[in-house]
């Protein structure tokens, strides 16, 4: 939801063109809610969700750790005041020279999901800690993770054994239940797999110490989602069930859950038209689309709340599209979006829950449009 | 295909990181081939395909006109030396203030597909020429255009009648058969629709003078496509069939057809791994993916030729994925890509036919990765 601070900013500054406004007060509240809900877990903010320096500085000052996807993100986190020991290089796909650069910067915690990656780390970051990502089924997530990251749990045992053999610190297991996960039992299933890896390696004398439970904590889009407290409770119960009195160190990596609901995109209606006179369906074209920051509408995966000043008026279904000459730049077509019949060219609309995965997804100059501007207040 | 000039550039300069290299000699040849195949048509290069200044300057110097999608693209074309009268504002979705800015720069040719857009142009660009885009079915295109642009032919009659009534020059009709169109009869069907609009308006005393046949001219990806000559011949026959001795002025807007085969992306294999020990499918991760310039692999729509130095070796199917922490960043998974069994982490690969729709699609900083670099030689 747009906070009063965001509404005041837009009313006062009247920025031209589409833009994202992020309210740091919401980020602060979210961080505290995660701390409260999961007091035993270390919070690694997923920098890729929104790397705005103001957000990174705030979280660094509150004691957050950081999950990074590249050397550039490592440097951003350090520039924001995070010491190297609070930064994880969480991408399982890394060039060996980037591992070496991160190691030189002091990074000692790396994600892997294959023996091949372990070998690179053993060469470029000798002695570092590694955790192996296991595949989860992603069921229940609105933005499922497919099979790109992780390996089956049996293979994770091999990967961590090899890490140990090559002089690395075989440190733990990670999983990701899928972004915007609303099924609480997903964590239970993943923790069962993690425990299996712990147990198999313990039989060989290798003691793991950490479970990285990833992200997936949802932000509020159109439906209510269980609040952070409920997630914390469910996850604590699953940890106790599988690990008993021997609960390992745990890490969480909220991204969307930390900043998603802190941001609102202001956009303008560029055109409202029909394709035929007898067509009931209106096409509404905004000055932002799939290539300008709303990439997560791909396959209509994420359905953002859209607020207009005419929401009290009667609504009818619209196809919602972006401003580029690309026919793929359509946000909602299979499931049209209800918008006020009185909506008019030139109207401003607010697209809520857009604090995560918008600015950096934006294309650099597609159709000559500049990337999404962002204001952090 | 990678030209010798591109191969020499890569061998000599050895640029680090993924990059696109475009050979201007190929662009020059393509422009001449279009001129030769369709000597009666004016060529409006679709700037959005690749707005590199070197490409725009070359084409401007050869006499090309330019199809633009935004005021920024209008300015790029003018900076490259194109006079305003050789520039069309071809986006049917324009803010009224952008129409006014383009008009102030001298632009007098605008695309529309609705009465609402006509009204904006009548206010912001009085007296300008407009052409109305009609919907085509896009059948046979590898990257179909859906219904985002254009209106049904009957509505185009209303739109152009209204343009005339508001003091604009009702100038013509446009269509786009879909990008990478390989079915030559698509132009015939679209020209039949165009002729219908001409005839209806002629009955009312409104004489249209131009047909904009859009783009859709394919570049060579994995399959051979009919060469420009065959397209020219088929289109000329369709024009004669529908317009007889009264063939109007015609415009074509090649984008992919002008620059697609002029560019090659150099990438590096970051990781090759499996998800389980008994898995036959390898996952090959490159340092470029869907968010780094290969957006057109969305839904596996476009299948680029990939060349390695080990192509003489036995091949097996691979899932091909990008380097980001985004599970959607997978190029080919439903139809795996055959790559050499001997392929090794650190190998360079060439992704051919990537001169169009790559650099500007690239995300601005997703996961901290910089946008795709480009060298025009």
For residues A112 and A85, is the Cβ–Cβ distance under 8 A? no
For residue A220, what pLDDT is reported?
65
CA A243 to chain B, closest CA, distance in angstroms equals 25
Q: Alpha carbon of B256 to those of A7, A289, B46: distances in Å?
A: 43, 22, 8
Residue-wise DSSP of B283-316: EEEES--TTTT-GGGGGG-----EEETTTTS-EE
- Closest CB to A361: pick one of B143, B152, B363: B363
Closest partner CB to A145 (pick from B117, B327, B366) = B327
Say which of B135, B155, B271 has its CB closest to residue A114.
B271
Q: Where are the domains of chain A?
A: 90-254, 261-376
A132 counts as catalytic: no
Question: How big is chain A, counted in residues?
Answer: 377
What lies within 8 Å, CB to CB, of B252 at 6+ separation is: B34, B38, B41, B42, B43, B44, B212, B213, B214, B215, B217
Q: Per the CB < 8 Å rule, is B295 touching A363?
A: yes
Measured from the Cβ of residue B230, the count of other Cβ atoms closer than 10 Å reads 12
A361, B291: Cβ pair inside 8 Å? yes
Write down the pLDDT at residue B145: 55
Looking at A181-190, A238-247, B78-87, which range is the least confident one?
A181-190
Element (H or E) spanning A308, and its range?
A: strand A306-308
- Distance (Å) from the C-alpha of residue B209 to the closest C-alpha of chain A? 23
**Residue B257 pLDDT greater than 70, yes or no:** yes
Cβ-count burial of B126 within 10 angstroms (0-12 exposed, 13-18 middle, 19+ buried)?
A: exposed
What pLDDT, on a 0 to 100 scale, did the predictor assign at position A254?
93
Phi, psi of A110 (to 5 degrees): -135, 145
Closest-CA distance, B205 to chain A, in angstroms, reads: 22
Chain B hits for A162, CB-CB cut-off 8 Å, are none
Asked whether residue A4 carries a pLDDT value surpassing 60, the answer given is yes
Q: Do A94 and B270 touch (CB under 8 A)?
A: yes
Q: Which residues of A touch B177 (CB under 8 A)?
A: none
Cβ separation of A73 and B368 shorter than 8 Å? yes
Q: Do A48 and B276 touch (CB under 8 A)?
A: no
Q: Which among A49, A52, A77, A93 is the top mutation candidate for probing chain B, defined by the most B β-carbons within 10 Å of its own β-carbon? A: A93
Q: What b/e readout covers A114-129, taking b as 16+ CB neighbours within 10 angstroms?
A: bbbbbbbbbebbeebb
Which residues of chain B lie closer than 8 angstroms to A94, CB-CB?
270-271
Q: How far is A328 from chain B (nearest CA, A)?
A: 7
**Cα-based angle A300, A306, A309 (whole degrees, multiple of 5):** 155
Arch. (CATH architecture) of B261-376:
Beta Barrel (2.40)
pLDDT score of B222 = 59
Q: List the CATH code of the domain at B90-254.
A: 3.20.20.10
- The better pLDDT of the pair A206, B236 is held by A206
- Output the six-digit token pair for B73: 């693209």
By annotation, the residues of B acting in catalysis are 325
Q: Cβ separation of B91 and A367 shorter than 8 Å?
A: yes
Rg (CA), chain B: 22
Q: pLDDT category, B143, cuts 50, 70, 90?
A: low
- Best-predicted range by mean pLDDT (A331-335, B109-113, B150-154): B109-113
| Contact between chains at A271 and B370 (C-beta distance less than 8 A) | no
Mean pLDDT along residues B316-325: 96
Mutation test of the interface with chain B: which of A319, A365, A369, A374, choosing the one with the most B Cβ atoms within 10 A?
A365
Q: Chain A residues with CB inside 8 Å of B144's CB?
A: 327
Alpha carbon of A189: minimum distance to chain B alpha carbons (Å): 19
Distance CA A369, CA A211 (A): 43
| B116, B135, B323 ranked by CB distance to A275: nearest | B135
What distance separates the 2 farthest-apart alpha carbons in chain B?
74
| pLDDT score recorded for residue B182 | 76
Q: What is the pLDDT of residues B75-127, one digit of tens each?
A: 999 999 999 999 999 999 999 999 999 999 999 999 999 999 999 999 999 99
Which residues in A lie closer than 8 A to residue B152 (C-beta atoms)?
A: 275-276
Residue B142 pLDDT level (bands cut at 50, 70, 90):
low
- Which residue in chain A is spatially nearest to B94 when comparing CA positions? A270
What is the predicted ipTM? 0.92
pLDDT at residue A90 greater than cutoff 90 = yes
Q: Do A151 and B116 touch (CB under 8 A)?
A: no
Pair of tokens at residue B321: 């994925």
Q: pLDDT digit string (tens) for A353-372?
A: 999 999 998 888 899 999 99
Q: Are the Cβ atoms of A95 and B287 closer than 8 angstroms?
A: yes
Taking the CA of residue A67 and the nearest CA in chain B, the distance in Å comes to 11
Q: Given B149, B277, B327, which is nearest A148 (Cβ)?
A: B327
Strand partners, A332: A320
Task: Specify the pLDDT at position A227.
Answer: 73
* pLDDT value, residue A232: 83
pLDDT band at residue A223 using 50, 70 and 90 as cut-offs: low
- Residue A13 scores a pLDDT above 90: yes
All residues of chain B having their beta carbon less than 8 Å from the beta carbon of residue A56 are none
What's the confidence (pLDDT) of residue B272?
A: 97
| Yes or no, beta carbons of A327 and B148 under 8 Å apart | yes
pLDDT the model gives residue B232: 83
pLDDT band at A101, cuts 50/70/90? very high
CB A321 within 8 A of CB A257: no
Q: Phi and psi for B35 in degrees, rounded to 5?
A: -55, -40
Q: How many angstroms separate the most distant Cα atoms in chain A?
A: 74
Q: Which of A178-182, B75-79, B212-216, B272-276 has the highest mean pLDDT?
A: B75-79
Share of chain B above pLDDT 70, in %: 95
CB B251 within 8 A of CB B210: yes
- Give me chain A's average pLDDT, please: 93
Average pLDDT estimate for B20-35: 95
Does the distance separating the beta carbons of B366 and A361 come in below 8 Å? yes
Mean pLDDT of B65-81: 98
At A147 the pLDDT is 83
Sheet strands (E) in B169-248: 169-174, 179-181, 210-212
Distance from CA of B245 to the nearest CA of A (A): 31
* CB nearest to B151's CB, from A73, A276, A359: A276
**How, if at all, do strands A348-352 and A306-308 pair?**
antiparallel
Task: Note the pLDDT of residue B331.
Answer: 96
Determine whether the interchain pair B114/A271 forms a contact, defined as Cβ–Cβ distance below 8 Å.
yes
Chain A residues within an 8 Å CB radius of B275: 135, 147, 150-152, 155
Residue A225 — very low, low, confident or very high, per pLDDT cuts 50/70/90? low
Do B323 and A92 form a contact (C-beta atoms < 8 A)? no
Q: Quick one: pLDDT at residue A140?
A: 59
* Residue B364: both structure tokens together: 């601005």
d(CA B256, CA B59): 14
Residue pairs spanning A and B at CB distance below 8 A:
209
Kindly state the average pLDDT of the residues A77-95: 98
Give yes or no for residue A121 having a pLDDT over 60: yes
Q: Which residues of B touch A278 (CB under 8 A)?
A: none
d(CA B317, CA B284): 10
Helices A71-79 and A53-61 pack at an angle, to 10 degrees, of 60
Q: What's the mean per-residue pLDDT of chain B?
A: 93
Q: What are phi and psi of A73, to 5 degrees?
A: -70, -35
Partners of A273 on chain B (C-beta within 8 Å) are 113-117, 151
Give the pLDDT of residue A229.
77
Q: Which of A284-288, A335-339, B190-194, B220-224 has the lowest mean pLDDT?
A: B220-224
pLDDT at A188 over 60: yes
Whole-angstrom Cα distance, residue A360 to residue A54?
A: 15
Residue from A205, A114, A198 nearest A163 by CA: A114
The whole-number pLDDT of residue B137 equals 66
């Amino acid at each position: 939801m747009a906070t009063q601070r965001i509404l005041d900013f837009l009313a006062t500054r009247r920025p031209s063109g589409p833009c994202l406004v992020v309210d740091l007060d919401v980020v602060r509240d979210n961080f505290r809610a995660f701390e409260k809900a999961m007091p035993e877990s270390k919070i690694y903010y997923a920098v890729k969700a929104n790397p705005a320096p103001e957000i990174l500085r705030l979280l660094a000052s509150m004691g957050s750790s950081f999950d990074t996807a590249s050397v550039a993100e490592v440097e951003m986190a350090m520039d924001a005041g995070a010491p190297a020991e609070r930064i994880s290089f969480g991408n399982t796909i890394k060039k060996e020279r980037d591992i070496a650069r991160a190691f030189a910067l002091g990074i000692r915690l790396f994600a892997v999901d294959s023996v091949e990656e372990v070998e690179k780390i053993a060469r470029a970051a000798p002695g570092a800690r590694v955790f192996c990502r296991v595949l989860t089924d992603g069921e229940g997530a609105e933005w499922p993770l497919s099979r790109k990251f992780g390996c089956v749990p049996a293979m994770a045992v091999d990967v961590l054994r090899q890490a140990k053999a090559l002089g690395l610190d075989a440190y733990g297991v990670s999983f990701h239940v899928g972004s915007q996960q609303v099924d609480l039992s997903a964590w239970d299933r993943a923790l069962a797999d993690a425990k299996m890896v712990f147990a198999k390696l313990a039989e060989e004398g290798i003691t793991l110490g950490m479970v990285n439970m990833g992200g997936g904590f949802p932000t509020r889009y159109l439906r209510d989602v269980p609040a952070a407290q409920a997630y914390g409770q469910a996850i604590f119960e699953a940890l106790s069930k599988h690990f008993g009195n021997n609960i390992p160190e745990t890490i969480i990596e909220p991204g969307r859950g930390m900043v998603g609901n802190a941001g609102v995109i202001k956009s303008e209606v560029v055109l409202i038209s029909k394709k035929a006179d007898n067509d009931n369906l209106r096409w509404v074209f905004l000055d932002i689309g799939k290539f300008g920051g709303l990439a997560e509408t791909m396959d209509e995966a994420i359905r953002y709340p859209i607020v207009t000043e005419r929401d009290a008026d009667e609504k009818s279904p619209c196809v919602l599209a972006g401003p580029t000459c690309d026919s793929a730049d359509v946000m909602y077509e299979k499931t049209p979006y209800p918008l006020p019949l009185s909506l008019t060219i030139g109207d401003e609309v607010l697209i809520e829950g857009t604090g995560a995965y918008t600015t950096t997804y934006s294309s650099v100059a597609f159709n000559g449009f500049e990337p999404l501007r962002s204001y952090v207040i």
